[in-house]
Amino acid sequence: MTLSGPSITRRQAIAGAAATAALLPFAATAQEADFAAGDMAMGPEDAPITIIEYASMTCPHCRNFHKTVWPDLKANWIETGKARFIFREFPFDRPGLAAAMLARCGGDQRFFAFIDVLFDQQARWSQSRNPMGELQNIALLGGVSPQKFEQCMTNPALEETVLNSRLQGHQEFQVNATPTLIINGEKYEGNHDYDTLNSFLEGLS
């Protein structure tokens, strides 16, 4: 996979570990901005199956997963309450980091809607000569003002939240490629097509 934009350094990734457990409250003022913190999840907490996806917003394989697998997975497993889905960021480059920050900038209620749009329009913004400009356009369409977009992109606590997700995935599950699925605490080694994944999940039910 060819990565666009400068890569995230090991130092930047490890810096995420310095984030405190309780993030500072960020009110929507001229200096501060709200963002969604913690795991971004769909489905009941007591579901018998928990699926964690580690994904990079600039990864074309992740885009393909969300285009061809995610709709059926969501409809047949998440929305039926048979599984809980957790999305965790694993950015490989600066545009991917910025896109993940934008999704959280939209807040809890709009997070997954931003993820859908960002994957759907991935080729447009990630391959642009001005990816930040394209991301700002997406933000505006999603109800995030230019002022709030700028606040989010320069928010160190938000950046650390996303980098912590990457660091956790690497340390806890040895994630080094995306998309990577962790199902009930174990790394899923099957093919990333719906039929294979569905058969695997049915075996756990």
Opening angle at CA 69, ends 66 and 73, nearest 5: 105
Element (H or E) spanning 52, and its range?
A: strand 49-55
Q: Which residues contact 174 (CB under 8 A, 6 or more apart)?
A: 187
Q: Is 11 helix (H, G, I), strand (E, B) or coil?
A: helix
Pairwise CA distance, residues 111 & 49, whole Å? 22
What does the pLDDT profile of the chain (205 residues) look like in tens digits? 333 444 555 544 444 433 322 223 323 333 334 799 999 999 999 999 999 999 999 999 999 999 999 999 999 999 999 999 999 999 999 999 999 999 999 899 999 999 999 999 999 999 999 999 999 999 999 999 999 999 999 999 999 999 999 999 999 999 999 999 999 999 998 899 999 999 999 999 8
Q: In terms of C-beta density within 10 A (0-12 exposed, 13-18 middle, 19 or more buried), how is residue 60 classed?
A: middle
d(CA 123, CA 114): 15
CA distance 187 to 20: 27
Task: Report the topology of domain 40-204.
Answer: Glutaredoxin (3.40.30)
State the pTM of this model. Answer: 0.83
SS3 at position 41 = strand
Domain range list for the chain: 40-204
Instruction: Give all strands of the β-sheet with 40-42 in edge-to-edge order.
Output: 40-42, 83-89, 49-55, 180-183, 186-187
Q: Report DSSP letters for 68-127, one per residue.
A: HTHHHHIIIIITTTSEEEEEEE---BHHHHHHHHHHHHT-GGGHHHHHHHHHHTHHHHHT
DSSP-based three-state secondary structure for 54: strand
Give backbone dihedrals phi and psi of 39, rounded to 5 degrees, phi first.
-65, 135
